[in-house]
Structure 1
Amino acid sequence: MSPGFTDDYLLYLLAAASARASAGFHTLLAAQGLRVPEWRILACLASREGLKVTELAQQTLFDQPRLTKTLNIMERAGLVRRRSDPSDRRLALVTLTAEGRARVAPLLQQARDHEAQVLARFPAADRTRLKALLIALAG
């Protein structure tokens, strides 16, 4: 039998690899009471405090309506805060609350540990090359 289209189609392979690699970490997030969109927002804000909503949408790969809906949920849960940008009151800046920082801190290490497990089957040079290729592709 000849290979099917998706057997070597890059976009399918990227999606399949992401789904398989992420599954275990997504289970961990669910056990912590977090959804993947909330994790992405927390992870982005952990190293980039005070992002504009448009910047956060780009970083999280969400469209603005989806991001706004998720931010509303997270704000009610006390994880994030929106405030006016002092340089342009029409814009909102999103920051982590103390609770948001406390929730994301251990998850960042758990995410790195999970990443290490996913990549452990590859030699170090392949891990480095894979990340470099993905960074270039995402660039």
Structure 2
Amino acid sequence: MQKSEAITAIVLAAHALARIAAHDAGNDAPSAQWRALSILSQRGGMRLGALASAARTTQPGMTRLIGVLEQAGLVERTADPADSRATVVNATTEGIRALDEWRTELGSTLAPRFEHLSDDDWQAIERTAAILGERAQDTADHQTGEDE
């Protein structure tokens, strides 16, 4: 397997595991909800257009999603301090709590699929998670710098 194929395989497996966990847990919230809350949790408040771009969706689609999340109390819109005509979307304390609960639920739902792994396999998974987390953070930091 070539290096790029290994990275692709990891990404595809991660997406599949997230879908499996959501299904097995009976979590019917759209993945776009968790993606938006994750971005807001990591990057802080953002304008809708920037959030849509970061989530790789359309601005109208993000506007609809934020409306639903706002009604649920998971996000709030405030005036942009730099431009009072614009709004900034922030995750609420309830939104961050829901995101943390979803992440915990994912882990506990998937745990039985991994219970028979060896210590060496766990070390490999932990190292892979650390490397991917670092790469994702470097990319997020780079993208945040471009938006400013």
User: What band does the TM-score fall into relative to the shorter chain?
Assistant: 0.5 to 0.7
Count of aligned residue pairs for this structure pair: 132
Q: 2:65 is paired with a residue of what secondary structure? A: helix
Runs in 1 of length 4+ with deviation above 6 angstroms?
Answer: 114-120
CA distance in 1, matches of 2:127, 2:111: 12
Q: 2:22 is paired with a residue of what secondary structure? A: helix
- Cα RMSD of the aligned pairs, angstroms, is 3.6
- 1:26 lines up with 2:25 in the alignment: no
Deviations 1:41-70 (A, max 9, x none): 122223433222233223323232221121
CA distance in 1, matches of 2:43, 2:36: 10
Identity of aligned residues (%): 22
Which residue is equivalent to 1:38?
33
Once the 2 structures are TM-superposed, how far is the Cα of residue 25 of structure 1 from its aligned partner?
2.6
Q: CA distance change for structure 1 residues 89 and 117 in 2, over 3 Å: closer, same or farther?
A: farther
Deviations 1:65-98 (A, max 9, x none): 2211211221222221112201112332111234
**1:24-103 equivalence runs, <5 A:** 24-27=20-23, 31-103=26-98
Q: CA distance change for structure 1 residues 22 and 108 in 2, over 3 Å: closer, same or farther?
A: closer
- 1:17 lines up with 2:13 in the alignment: yes
CA distance in 2, matches of 1:135, 1:119: 23
Give ranges in structure 1 of 5+ residues lacking alignment.
Answer: 1-7
TM-score, normalising length: structure 1: 0.64
**1:119, 1:127 within 8 Å by CA — same for their partners in 2?**
no
Which residue is equivalent to 1:105?
100
Q: 1:46 is paired with a residue of what secondary structure? A: helix
Q: 1:20 is paired with a residue of what secondary structure? A: helix
2:82 partner letter: S
